[in-house]
Structure 1
Amino acid sequence: MSLLDDLKNAQKDAMRAKDKVRLGTIRMALSAVKQHEIDGRTNADYVALDDDGVLAILIKMVKQRKDAASQYETAGRQDLLDIEQAEIVILQEFMPKALSEEELDALIVEAMQESGASGMQDMGKVMGLLKPKVQGRADMGKLSGKIKAKLNS
């Protein structure tokens, strides 16, 4: 079953359960996917989004909510912070399981060996190898910091 189908089924379940927060969040995600598909229809060889495309949209939505949550926290708006955090939890249910620190470290070492990375000038090579493997499963900012630390040591 595709990620899009999972979202649609979760929407139906949320409707049946009358869970307004979950339903609204899932509808927002489906709307973002639909908007992306509509924006991509300008060319004749258009293909619908696959799981990677839907996952990229979900990742972007989670990042937006995390940014908004930090701003609400700074502003002292606990009511809005709670809403953003609830939406983050709901969206993350549809994302793959996060990698542990040990798994991430092992992938970094493997990518460094595969690319022959020896210094900071090889950062792009290592990131290029890792990005498809960790997409949606790790924070790219933290990953970048870990790679820099390993390349500098």
Structure 2
Amino acid sequence: MTTLKSQLKDELTDAIRARDELRSSTLRLTLAAIQVEEVSGKEARELTDAEVEKVIAKEAKKRREAADAFAKGGRTEQAERERAEGEILATYLPQQLTDDELNAIVEQAVAEAKAGGAEGPRAMGAVMKIVNPKVAGRAEGGRVAASVKRLLAG
């Protein structure tokens, strides 16, 4: 069974052979972030695929934020590179939920929370507890929270 980390390493080797500088540097940085995560804490350990996915998602989010910052600062070339790196990382993540899919999951969770007696803005925590495991890795926290707030208010 091939782990996500070993897949990244294999694809890094392929990218280096193909002289694909953008892909190889992106994969190198991501593998370094995985390495840091593995040695953080009391004992070094091998990350599971789910944990590796979280690291990749965090790296992809950093690229999006950097791209926005560069774009606002008028540094379009750097913004383009950050976006391109983010797109490479996105290929290793689960398919993101569309707004409709996310809203359907949140609506169901709001109904579950109401059945459990939680209503209105105070139900946010209860709804998030129901939603988060269902959307893990497939929708950013900010998007999820905004959807929950919108449906609880309406």
Q: Check whether TM > 0.5.
A: yes
In the TM superposition, residue 12 of structure 1 has moved relative to its aligned partner by 2.0
Counterpart of 2:61, as a letter, is K
Report which stretch shifted further, 24-33 or 4-13: 4-13
Taking structure 1 as reference, are residues 146 and 53 closer, same or farther at Cα in structure 2, changes over 3 Å only?
same
- Aligned pairs (5 A) from 1:59-78: 59-78=57-76
> Structure 2-normalised TM-score?
0.89
Structure 1 stretches of 5 or more lacking a match?
Answer: none
Identity of aligned residues (%): 35
Counterpart of 2:87, as a letter, is V
Structure 2 stretches of 5 or more lacking a match?
Answer: none
- Aligned pairs (5 A) from 1:1-153: 1-40=2-41, 42-43=42-43, 47-116=45-114, 117-153=118-154
Structure 1: how far apart are the matches of 2:6 and 2:49? 10
The alignment partner of 1:97 has SS state of coil
Structure 1: how far apart are the matches of 2:104 and 2:45? 35
Structure 1: how far apart are the matches of 2:7 and 2:101? 27
Aligned-residue CA RMSD (Å): 1.5
**For residues 62-120 of structure 1, what are the alpha-carbon distances to aligned partners after superposition, in whole Å with 9 as ceiling and x for unaligned?**
11111111111111111211111111011111000111222111111221223334211
Q: How many residues align?
A: 150
> Structure 1-normalised TM-score?
0.90
The alignment partner of 1:49 has SS state of coil
In the TM superposition, residue 6 of structure 1 has moved relative to its aligned partner by 2.2
Structure 2: how far apart are the matches of 1:88 and 1:17? 20
4+ runs of 1 displaced by more than 2 Å? 113-117
Structure 2: how far apart are the matches of 1:4 and 1:68? 24
